[in-house]
């Protein structure tokens, strides 16, 4: 059974026992095998340096959050995929690519780059303003990785390719996906899925739910730079996605409300929701991914999405509702 909270003073021994569930091993999922367990794909945010440290911090925080909402954690290590792209946006990195040949939006932006420089300039100025309002390290950094993703199409392509690899692997194994995205990760995910032709993949992507937190996607200069247009809300809904939940801490200065940001997809089946969490570590820690992942509300949404994506043949999974 899911519970609203669990004692914050939980004994370490219990956490260690439950960790064996999250980091344990299970029989691998083979092509055509039924049931096919859903896959949680974690997409990190801005300002990351070391993959191993970031992945460990995310998984530890998620485990901590899950143990606050269920006595039995049903998610195992084989149910989690971590997407790393910070190296693409690091100073001096040379990874880049061109994916404009098969995509109309990318093609338009790629061959008319000069036309879109005003959108990119507006995004740079808005990011600088956001960073200055936040203060501290953000004011010094000016959010360079976010700026690079928004304004360098070759870098954007290379970053999105990392997300694409994870989604293709899941599709090949017929595993439905729950995307958990933080900060810049939500921009990366939206950009790739919105422009991606859902009929271009076989097997097709099956993205059941996107859960974003600490996201700047609803900032006009940001989504206009992504879409290459002075579009106004509602912006297009990614056709492969069934549901999107945006979560924000009201003290997170880099998190903006979605409200009615996106329109429904062409079939009218997309569903979006907004959650404001009720506890915060304060201004300094409000944007941290670990803060969100260990929060019982966020972990509960992730667990519920994973449980809802289970195939009917699997029956009731211990630890799910």
Where does the chain show beta strands of DSSP type E? Answer: 39-43, 80-83, 177-182, 207-213, 241-248, 271-276
**Alpha-helical runs (H) found in 173-295:** 184-195, 220-227, 289-293
Do residues 140 and 245 make contact, with C-beta atoms less than 8 angstroms apart? Answer: no
28 prior amide bond cis, ω within 30: no
The predicted structure's pLDDT at residue 197: 74
Q: What's the pTM?
A: 0.86
The tokens for 217 are 């996607």
Where is pLDDT greater, at 113 or 144? 144
pLDDT band, residue 290 (cuts 50/70/90): very high
Where is pLDDT greater, at 163 or 132? 163
pLDDT digits (tens, 9 = 90+) for 22-76: 444 443 334 444 548 999 999 999 989 999 999 999 999 999 999 999 999 999 9
The predicted structure's pLDDT at residue 252: 94
Please give the average per-residue pLDDT across 279-295, as a whole number: 94
3-state class (DSSP) for residue 88: helix
Helices (H) and strands (E) in the chain, counts: 12, 6
pLDDT band, residue 137 (cuts 50/70/90): low
Q: Which domains does the chain have, with CATH numbers?
A: 35-314 (3.40.50.1820)
Label residues 148-171 b or e (16+ Cβ within 10 Å = b). Answer: bbbbebbbbbbbbbbbbebbeebb
The tokens for 289 are 């991914």
């Amino acid at each position: 059974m899911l519970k609203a909270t669990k004692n914050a003073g939980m004994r370490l021994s219990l956490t260690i026992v439950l960790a064996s569930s999250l980091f344990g091993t299970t029989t691998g999922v083979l092509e055509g095998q039924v049931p096919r367990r859903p896959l949680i794909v974690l997409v990190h945010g801005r300002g990351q340096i070391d993959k191993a440290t970031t992945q460990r911090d995310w998984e530890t925080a998620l485990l901590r959050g899950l143990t606050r909402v269920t006595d039995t954690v049903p998610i195992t290590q084989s149910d989690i995929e971590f997407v790393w792209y910070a190296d693409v946006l690091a100073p001096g990195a040379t990874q880049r690519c061109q994916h404009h040949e098969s995509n109309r939006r990318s093609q338009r932006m790629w061959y008319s780059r000069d036309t879109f420089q005003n959108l990119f300039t507006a995004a740079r100025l808005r990011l600088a303003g956001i960073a200055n309002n936040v203060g501290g390290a953000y004011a010094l950094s000016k959010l360079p990785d976010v700026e690079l993703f928004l304004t360098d199409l070759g870098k954007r392509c290379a970053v999105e390719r990392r997300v694409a690899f994870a989604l293709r692997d899941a599709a090949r194994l017929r595993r439905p996906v729950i995307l958990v995205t933080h900060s810049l990760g939500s921009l990366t995910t939206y950009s790739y899925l919105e422009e991606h032709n859902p009929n271009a993949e076989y097997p097709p992507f099956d993205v059941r739910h996107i859960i974003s937190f600490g996201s700047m996607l609803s900032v006009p200069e940001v989504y206009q730079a992504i879409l290459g247009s002075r579009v106004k809300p509602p912006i297009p809904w990614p056709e492969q996605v069934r549901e999107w939940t945006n979560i924000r801490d009201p003290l997170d200065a880099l998190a903006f409300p979605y409200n009615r940001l996106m329109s429904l997809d062409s079939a009218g089946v997309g569903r979006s929701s907004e959650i404001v969490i009720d506890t915060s570590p304060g201004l300094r820690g409000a944007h941290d991914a670990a803060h969100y992942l260990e929060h019982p509300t966020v972990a509960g949404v992730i667990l519920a999405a994973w449980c809802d994506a289970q195939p009917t043949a699997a029956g009731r999974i211990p630890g799910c509702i």
